[in-house]
Amino acid sequence: MSVNADFVGRVFTGTPPYEVSRVKIAEFSSAVQSLHPSHLDVEAARALGHPDVIAPTTFAVVIAQRAEAEYITDPAATIDFSRVVHADERFTLQRPIHAGDVLSTAVHVDSIVERRGISMVSTRTEITDEAGSSVATVRSTLAVRGE
Amino acid sequence: MSEEIAVVKVADVPVGTELFSATVELERSSLVKYAGASGDFNPIHWNERFAREVGLPNVIVHGMLTMGVAASVLEEWIQDPGRVLDYGVRFTRPIPVPDPGSVEVTVVGKLGAVDAEAGTARIDLNVSSDGATVLGKAQAVIKT
């Protein structure tokens, strides 16, 4: 079954807010081999003008993928995850994510385009803080192979 | 990171100048660690039997891990990771990871463009493994 194109334009906001911790930032930094002190040492981060340790550039993917799951695992969306390949990813950061942030997500299904039996599914996750200010936009395209 | 990274002010050099270069080593445990840290437990990144069953040559690196380590090289060079404003890539080629063994990912950053008015610069990243480019159109915009 091909990916359900009726989902284009839908917005998913059912994922609970994500609380960013120093421990999670340190764990993610270690996994991507980023040893920059601003991820690990509060004083080093503050010396650069940040309120607390800041997350590596791609950390927002943790928050975005958690939120995208609400769409991708929706049976009516008909996305067979065993046939999915990640095609592209882009982060636009209004400010660095830091420990203590409580971040909400809205996943927009921007487009579903079928080309030669492969469905390209593009989502845009808007991440906002408790004040409602935009923190980051995460754009992702999945390539879903047909049967 | 196996090479020392020298900091160059982008205003001082012409577009196209190589700004930094580093090589990162990844092994199976790196993938398991990234799976845990990111929450991406797709078995193609840790289960060789499963990876081969779906037609891959072996377990492959998470595209997001490759994207992440390339960002780490950039962050180390710019000295304040908070200066990255935008970062995008296309995943063009999977990186199989042998066991035992490891793979090397080489990241080279060049100055792509400077926007003096906006106070930003575009850094073009060439990310390769085993002599082949693995990320397409890998570009970051930083505050200068």
Domain that holds residue B111: 10-27+61-143
- CB proximity B43 to A under 8 Å: no
Q: Is the pLDDT score of B5 beyond 50? A: no
Region B59-86 average pLDDT: 96
Region B60-68 average pLDDT: 98
- CB proximity A142 to B under 8 Å: no
Residue B4 is predicted with a pLDDT of 41
Residues lower than pLDDT 50 in chain A: none
Q: Does any domain span residue A83?
A: yes
Residue B108 bridge partners (DSSP)? B21, B126
Q: Which of B30, B81, B88 comes nearest A56 by C-beta?
A: B81
- CB proximity B57 to A under 8 Å: no
Instruction: Return the CATH number at A87.
Output: 3.10.129.10
Residue A81 is predicted with a pLDDT of 82
From CA B111, how far away is CA B14, in angstroms rounded? 8
Q: Does any domain span residue A121?
A: yes
For residue A32, the chain B residue with the least C-alpha distance is: B69
Compute the mean pLDDT over every residue in chain B, rounded to the nearest whole number.
Answer: 93
Q: Does any domain span residue B56?
A: no
Q: Does any domain span residue B75?
A: yes
Q: Which of B30, B75, B90 comes nearest A57 by C-beta?
A: B75
On the CB side of A72, CA atoms within 13 Å amount to 24
Domain that holds residue A131: 5-20+57-145
Q: Does any domain span residue A136?
A: yes
Q: Band the pLDDT of B10: cuts 50, 70, 90.
A: confident
From CA A79, how far away is CA A3, in angstroms rounded? 6
Q: Which of B29, B32, B38 to mutate to test the interface with A (most CBs of A within 10 A)?
A: B38
Q: Which of B28, B34, B80, B134 to mutate to test the interface with A (most CBs of A within 10 A)?
A: B80
Instruction: Return the CATH number at B104.
Output: 3.10.129.10
Q: Does any domain span residue B138?
A: yes
Nearest by Cα to B71 from B87, B92, B49, B94: B87
Residue B6 is predicted with a pLDDT of 44
Number of domains composing chain B = 1
Residues A32, B68: C-beta atoms closer than 8 Å: yes
Residues B30, A31: C-beta atoms closer than 8 Å: yes
Q: Is the pLDDT score of B89 beyond 50? A: yes
Give the minimum alpha-carbon distance from A11 to chain B in angstroms, rounded to a whole number. 22
SS3 for A104?
A: strand
Q: Band the pLDDT of B7: cuts 50, 70, 90.
A: low
Do B62 and B135 meet the contact criterion of CB atoms below 8 Å apart?
no
Instruction: Reply yes or no: is the peptide bond before residue B100 cis, omega within 30 of 0.
Output: yes
Give the minimum alpha-carbon distance from A123 to chain B in angstroms, rounded to a whole number. 14
